[in-house]
Chain A
């Protein structure tokens, strides 16, 4: 080993017992012996550098931040991905059905070219609103039947 290898060995040891080979070299090389002494002294100086106490509220602050992250408003994509979780599959299925139903209602409404009252077909789709949607569909059906009748027939029906 040359002098550079010896110094590397000394450094790698971090103050631990040096090998016999290093000891032998140090005994005969004044330059390396000086480096060894300086390095040992440097480590002693560094040992005096103690880190301060950790703040008492460190964990509390961390968990509060984790909690805030967890309760932050979810992005639309994240929300959709979240629905893939096994525990949320029934809810996802129900939501998909409601969306399909709503789409069907809107499409039907558009094709029948009813007087512009799309709001009647675009009810907010919630699970508990299913009955309301069915009622709305019946109403639409009734209105379309009503429209299909000739004007004169309606008037005569109205008079009778």
Chain B
């Protein structure tokens, strides 16, 4: 019920943008700016590239306002644009990105937030190393699997929504996620073991 209301509200905002209401565009930007940038950041694993792509996403939304029809959920449309741009960017800069990733551009990675002050430096380093492994394992997934996992885990999207974004069936999404998580569990199983040993 709440989701349906949100859908209606977003679609209404976009229809107002279509009529030339810039305030409604600003509201949509405020509402989805962070989730789009964070999703793109995890897709391309670069803050600057993610922000550049997010600019293009919202620019495309604005440019397409005159042809907008609320046929699909607004977020599905938004993340379809974002995913399309991210996959294109990954395809175009595959070699470049892998090199950057191997170089470990420190400025691009978020610092691991240490919630517990009692953690010592060694634990911080271990946590950072584990996080780095998670990022790498996700980066090594094929594009669509990566997009599906990120939308599922971080954007809290269900199979139907992910299917709408990726333009495939819900059973295909189920299969994509099944394989992607199986790969991730396999690649990162040693982390669970080392964690258990530490505890």
Contact = CB atoms under 8 A, between A and B. Distances in A.
Contact of A46 (B41, B153, B177, B192): B153
Contact of A54 (B51, B62, B156, B185): B51
Contacts of B59: 62, 65-66, 69
Interface residues of A, number: 29
Contacts of B127: 48
A69 B153 contact: no
A45 interface: yes
Interface string A15-52: 00000000000000000000101110111011011111
A12 B171 CA distance: 12
A7 B189 contact: no
Main secondary structure of the interface of B (DSSP, over half): helix
A51 B29 contact: no
A54 B34 contact: yes
Given A11-B178, A51-B34, A58-B54, 6 more contacts: A7-B178, A8-B174, A8-B178, A35-B185, A42-B188, A49-B134
Interface of B: 29, 33-34, 37-38, 41-42, 47, 51, 54-55, 58-59, 62-63, 110, 112-113, 127, 130-131, 134-135, 138, 152-154, 156, 158-159, 174, 177-178, 181, 184-185, 188-189, 191-192, 195
